[in-house]
Amino acid sequence: MPLDAYRSLGRSGLRVSPFCLGGMTFGEEWGYGSDEAGSSAIIQRYTELGGNFIDTANMYTLGHSEAIIGKHFEGRRGERNRVVIATKFSANMSPGDPNGGGSSRKAILAACEESLRRLRTDYIDLYWMHWWDQFTPIEETMSALDSLVQSGKVRYVGFSDTPAWKVAQAQVTAMFRNWAPIVGLQIEYSLLERTVESELTPMALELGLGVTPWSPLRAGALSGKYSRDNTTPESAGRGPSLSRNLTPKAFDVIDVLLAVAKEAETSAASVALAWVLAQPAVTSPIIGARTLDQLTDNLQALEVRLTTDQLTRLNEVSTPPADFTALNMRGAMSGSFGGLTVNARTFPLGLRSVTENDKVW
């Protein structure tokens, strides 16, 4: 699959590459990442290969990430129009100001103007709510976002890192008010983070949201660089986030990942990325790169074709414990369709199933 095998983002007309280029490593303010020249070279290589989807946020490297992207595309109007630039609001870039962050109308409009300035553009293709603001009515947030879409400063709207019930409330509110709908959902998703499969990804499929997973390599834990005997992070800046992911259970998953990578004659990182890309609801995993070599390595995952057996082994070793909703639904579906096959799914008889031998009162 080439990088220019574009996909529709959710139930929208926006077409994006199968891998999105993440901008969190553009700038060195957080102790890791690339300088301006290195970041620009990565952006250039990505777009030359057909990539058209770049994701950042107002807070990434204290605003420098947006500025680097803006500087790269300044004076390249044709290239800028071909690229889908996504950024986020919610983070407070004005310490001490209670209205500087969150998802109120005041905060959203101010954050949008600042992002437009740093990005040196007059419109944002996809504007993400970075996380849910519990102090602002969702109607106010969706109304403000619709205003930005109507003004032309934003083209599409997305939500990130927000509970499924709140995303659903926002989407239904937008539908009934005829406001701009949510078209994308950005969440952490990887072989080591699959709890989103309980509520978030089924919701995305139902409501027409294209999922763009962040950290598909779990902060590097799935890169193949680490083992039970080697848990020392390469980058001190990301050390804490990586170290907490290198658990005994994680290494059970990594063992299978390495075995599959050997069979497929590719890297562990490529297998991990290919697995995420193959999941229902996923449109475009977000890949990060501090160097051109890392970008090239990550893009190799587009050529990986995992067999049914390999997917099954990866799924079995990485499946997390089911929560109440998932467990209850298994019994409920057997109660409704036990012993039957519906839509290619066969349901076993359960405690709630009634058979021909049962007496029905």
Active site residues: 60
Nearest CA among 219, 214, 288, 212 for reference residue 247: 219
For residues 255 and 268, give the distance between their C-alpha atoms in angstroms, rounded to a whole number.
10
Give the CA distances from residue 305 to residues 266, 272, 301, 319, 347, in Å, rounded to whole numbers and listed in that order: 10, 12, 9, 21, 29
Helix, strand or coil, per DSSP, at residue 128? strand
Helix, strand or coil, per DSSP, at residue 155? strand
Q: Which residues pair with 124 in a beta bridge?
A: 154
Burial of 147 per CB tally in 10 Å (0-12, 13-18, 19+): middle
For residues 211 and 220, give the distance between their C-alpha atoms in angstroms, rounded to a whole number.
20
Nearest CA among 66, 51, 45, 64 for reference residue 20: 51
SS (H, E, C) 35-91: CHHHHHHHHHHHHHCCCCEEECCCCHHHHHHHHHHHHHHCCCHHHHHHCEEEEEECC
